Structure 1
Amino acid sequence: MRSDSQRLTRVTELLSSLVSLDSINPMGRPYSRSQPVERESIEFIEKLFAPYRNKVSLQRQTCSAFHENLIICFGDTQGCPVGLFESHIDTVPADDWRDRALVPVVEDGCLIGRGACDDKGSLAAMILALLEILEAGAEPPIPIVLLCAGDEENAQTGIRHFVENSHPDLAYAIFGEPTRLSPVVQHKGTIRWDIVVHGTSAHTCRPELGTNAILGMTEVVSALQTYQNRLQATYRSRYMTGPTITVTMIEGGRTRNATADECKAAIDFRILPNMDPAREFETLVEYLETLEWQISHSPLQLMTPALSTDPKLPFCQDLLEICHENVSSRVALRGEPYGTDAAWVSNLCPAVVLGPGDISFAHAIDERVALSEVAQAVEVYKQIMLHSFKSGFEESQVVIPNNLSDSVSDTMNSANL
């Protein structure tokens, strides 16, 4: 049994090593490295488990041209439901602080560096929880699968490839993300694509001879705001804010002295658990067709379902009790507006997002996580792995529409963002 100080030292060393390894996701930009984004981290993690190869199996899994997973299995997973623990390896870029982003620094009890909070704090805690169990010679009541996932930040190809190709029989799933160790049972789904308004070019001395696509886009943006307000009046959740439609980028025009013949906007559409992503996308497209502009839509870049796990399930109540005992009696089941890999298994088993760190530090300059919280997460994950949950893992209440994976698979693969 390791002391608290020993665990904290181990957490600091492991998380520092993980942060120092470059696993920055290109996020659709050109990628010139000769190996997958996650390879260095995967090789490092494999060495940690090398002394236990008689107890665990390790498998690399290619999930796209630039990304791969590492699957670590403890116990016989054949014909037996397993407990899935997943944290992603990849991080967002660090363009604004690249000179120090991969140089971990400990300051005021926090480790600072790209990925410290999102998601290497969770990854380190899950790794150490499993290592502590192996070192103690303990046996979890059901097999444990630790998925060190690739490409969560961009297209979620890692978790999708795992689900589609590994055919897991899941009893439950824990997804590490910064939640301050409060279990998240619901979060929003995401739809991303580009809207293009088409016009005709004309010299700016006679703009009336053309059709300015930028003016058309202003009407589209206004219409999207009206549509969002309508959705928010219709769909509500006790756990999070309503649906949102956000324009994140706009580009248009070719020269300074001609009306724009094209204007493109990037759209981020967040939906609640009781909204079908494919249907919501189709309905919004139909709504925009009522505008008096020529509008086209790019292939979908991302379409993920929302997460909705019934908080009344015995699994959720047991999990909450573990958090009360090891974190705080004030911890409660809750929802979040962001999306995670958890949505892709929410039709297979009870899935919960749970990890150290505060989402406000994720993707930010000087990203950080409290080391004491990562150490707490080690104990929480360890207790979950060793816990005999009540029998009967009921299915979650939301089922991914049958056509969802098919409808977005080709477009996401072609974009391969």
Structure 2
Amino acid sequence: MSVITRERAEQILAELVAIPSVNPMDRPYTGTVPVERAVIEYLEALLTPYGVAMTRQAVSATHENLLVTLPGEASGPATLFEAHIDTVPAEDWPDRAFTPRVEGDRLYGRGACDDKASLTAMLLAVIDLLESGSRPPQPVLLLAAGDEEHGQSGIACFREAGIDIARGIFGEPTNLAPIVQHKGVLRWDITVHGKSAHSSRPELGLNAIDGAVAVIGALRAHQEALQRDYTSPLLTGPTLTVTMIHGGRIRNAVPDECTLSVDFRVPPGMALEAAHAAVVDQVSRLGWQVTHHPPQAAAPALNTPPDHPFAQQVLAICQRHAGSGIRLEGAPYGTDAAWIADRAPALVLGPGSIATAHAVDEHVDLNEVVTCARIYREILLANPLP
């Protein structure tokens, strides 16, 4: 009897949601073990009875991965299935974020959609193979990755191990549509420098907030120009978003500094370094003294050709299970998939909607988790195409 059932999906996902694995997101971390440790211990307990090989990968003092290996009929490059086990914080709904609840077909809780639903579907697919005795044509690697939500250091650690990969599926909430393209991201701070003065005599100073307003205008104009130049049938154009701003020291002084945090989403075809340099050039033309701080995050775009045999194979499998309306799509966000795509074809695919990810009352449809597990199982057993 198959383990891919709604009841089993609800059980595993609820147990995972009840285990907080919050990424500190560059804030001070006071824990004595990595953020992901409790989830990893749960996974080890769940899979130990099946005798599979499991290895903890130490990423940093704050983060770690778990790599699970299943042998295949043949040796050689592996099929990689990856889901991340860290979540964003839940400070805006701490009373219920880690108390999973089910209403109808929906399971609510932090990580229910992003990304423990994908992990649950992958676990169901793998356990079903193990219990049925079905052996995949290639070795299978299930990577429960840490630190996707902030630094993507978990997938970077896996990449550094140099393991040979033939193809990769990365679980994220895509409503069961395979994602072949997504944007890269670059985040950094820009500090505008002015001159302080008493606020009763502003003419004696130089208001850094005024300079920041000018920088915001320049970023907006540059974004509009980029969106005219970079178009794609699967993606919106580049975006430059100011996500945080801090200026001034006291209420009655002209601010001598103002710092903007910039989130730059870059589509395939734009080189990150060149794109960053172009922004620096545009800001420099304003005449203000500014400092561009080192990037806090820099991740490439995903650009798997839609006509790649693996993309077409996965699309056909998704359509069989989820309906003929499923299409290959692009996404504006970034994922760990981009760090593998230069070595093997990579797709992003999972249950749930990005619209509820990171939100209060994050949730996922349990029936979609079950359907996704069946899709994953078929992909695992599919023979690689040339």
Cα separation, 2, equivalents of 1:156 and 1:327: 30
The one of 211, 229, 234 aligned to 1:234: 229
SS in structure 2 at match of 1:161? helix
1:335-354 mapped onto 2 (5 Å cutoff): 335-354=330-349
Cα separation, 2, equivalents of 1:184 and 1:263: 38
Structure 1 residue 17 and structure 2 residue 15: aligned? yes
Whichever residue aligns with residue 368 of structure 2, its letter is: E
Q: State the partner residue of 1:414.
A: none
Shift of residue 230, structure 1, vs aligned partner: 0.5
Structure 1 residue 198 and structure 2 residue 193: aligned? yes
Per-residue CA shift, 1:326-361, capped at 9, x if unaligned? 111110001011111111111111100000001100
Q: State the partner residue of 1:31.
A: 29
Cα separation, 2, equivalents of 1:279 and 1:73: 39
The one of 289, 296, 318 aligned to 1:294: 289
Cα separation, 2, equivalents of 1:348 and 1:207: 57
Per-residue CA shift, 1:285-309, capped at 9, x if unaligned? 1221111100001111001110000
Identity of aligned residues (%): 51
Per-residue CA shift, 1:163-205, capped at 9, x if unaligned? 01x2121111000000000000000000000000011110011
Whichever residue aligns with residue 84 of structure 1, its letter is: L
Whichever residue aligns with residue 243 of structure 2, its letter is: T
Shift of residue 145, structure 1, vs aligned partner: 0.2
Whichever residue aligns with residue 109 of structure 1, its letter is: D
**How many residues align structurally?**
386
SS in structure 1 at match of 2:312? helix
Whichever residue aligns with residue 80 of structure 2, its letter is: L
Whichever residue aligns with residue 154 of structure 1, its letter is: H
1:239-388 mapped onto 2 (5 Å cutoff): 239-388=234-383
Q: State the partner residue of 1:63.
A: 59
Cα separation, 2, equivalents of 1:161 and 1:382: 26
> Do 1:179 and 1:355's aligned partners in 2 also have CA atoms closer than 8 Å?
yes
Scaled by the length of structure 2, the TM-score of the pair is 0.98
Cα separation, 2, equivalents of 1:131 and 1:298: 46
1:127-206 mapped onto 2 (5 Å cutoff): 127-164=123-160, 166-206=161-201
> Do 1:253 and 1:261's aligned partners in 2 also have CA atoms closer than 8 Å?
yes
Q: State the partner residue of 1:409.
A: none
Whichever residue aligns with residue 212 of structure 1, its letter is: N
The one of 82, 105, 109 aligned to 2:78: 82
Whichever residue aligns with residue 111 of structure 1, its letter is: L
Shift of residue 34, structure 1, vs aligned partner: 1.1
Per-residue CA shift, 1:119-142, capped at 9, x if unaligned? 000001101110110111111000
Shift of residue 389, structure 1, vs aligned partner: 2.4
Whichever residue aligns with residue 273 of structure 1, its letter is: P
Per-residue CA shift, 1:228-261, capped at 9, x if unaligned? 0010011111101100000000001001111001
Cα separation, 1, equivalents of 2:273 and 2:156: 17
Shift of residue 79, structure 1, vs aligned partner: 6.6
> Do 2:242 and 2:263's aligned partners in 1 also have CA atoms closer than 8 Å?
yes
Cα separation, 2, equivalents of 1:78 and 1:93: 42
Scaled by the length of structure 1, the TM-score of the pair is 0.91
Structure 1 alignment gaps of length 5 or more: 392-417
Per-residue CA shift, 1:8-57, capped at 9, x if unaligned? 1000000000000010111111111111100000000001110122xx21
> Do 2:3 and 2:127's aligned partners in 1 also have CA atoms closer than 8 Å?
no
Q: State the partner residue of 1:51.
A: 49
Structure 1 residue 91 and structure 2 residue 108: aligned? no
> Do 1:150 and 1:157's aligned partners in 2 also have CA atoms closer than 8 Å?
yes
Q: State the partner residue of 2:40.
A: 42
Whichever residue aligns with residue 37 of structure 1, its letter is: V
SS in structure 2 at match of 1:70? strand
Shift of residue 80, structure 1, vs aligned partner: 1.1
> Do 1:318 and 1:389's aligned partners in 2 also have CA atoms closer than 8 Å?
no
Cα separation, 1, equivalents of 2:365 and 2:179: 19
Shift of residue 65, structure 1, vs aligned partner: 2.2
- Consecutive aligned runs of 4 or more in structure 1 exceeding 3 Å deviation: 76-79
Whichever residue aligns with residue 275 of structure 1, its letter is: M
Whichever residue aligns with residue 47 of structure 2, its letter is: F
SS in structure 1 at match of 2:334? coil
Moved more, 282-291 or 86-95: 282-291
Q: State the partner residue of 2:100.
A: 104
**Pairwise CA RMSD:** 1.3
Structure 2 alignment gaps of length 5 or more: none
> Do 2:72 and 2:136's aligned partners in 1 also have CA atoms closer than 8 Å?
no
Cα separation, 2, equivalents of 1:50 and 1:204: 67
Cα separation, 2, equivalents of 1:77 and 1:277: 40
The one of 209, 212, 215 aligned to 1:214: 209
Shift of residue 225, structure 1, vs aligned partner: 0.3
SS in structure 1 at match of 2:102? strand
Q: State the partner residue of 1:401.
A: none
SS in structure 2 at match of 1:292? coil
> Do 1:16 and 1:104's aligned partners in 2 also have CA atoms closer than 8 Å?
yes
Q: State the partner residue of 1:2.
A: 2
> Do 1:195 and 1:266's aligned partners in 2 also have CA atoms closer than 8 Å?
yes
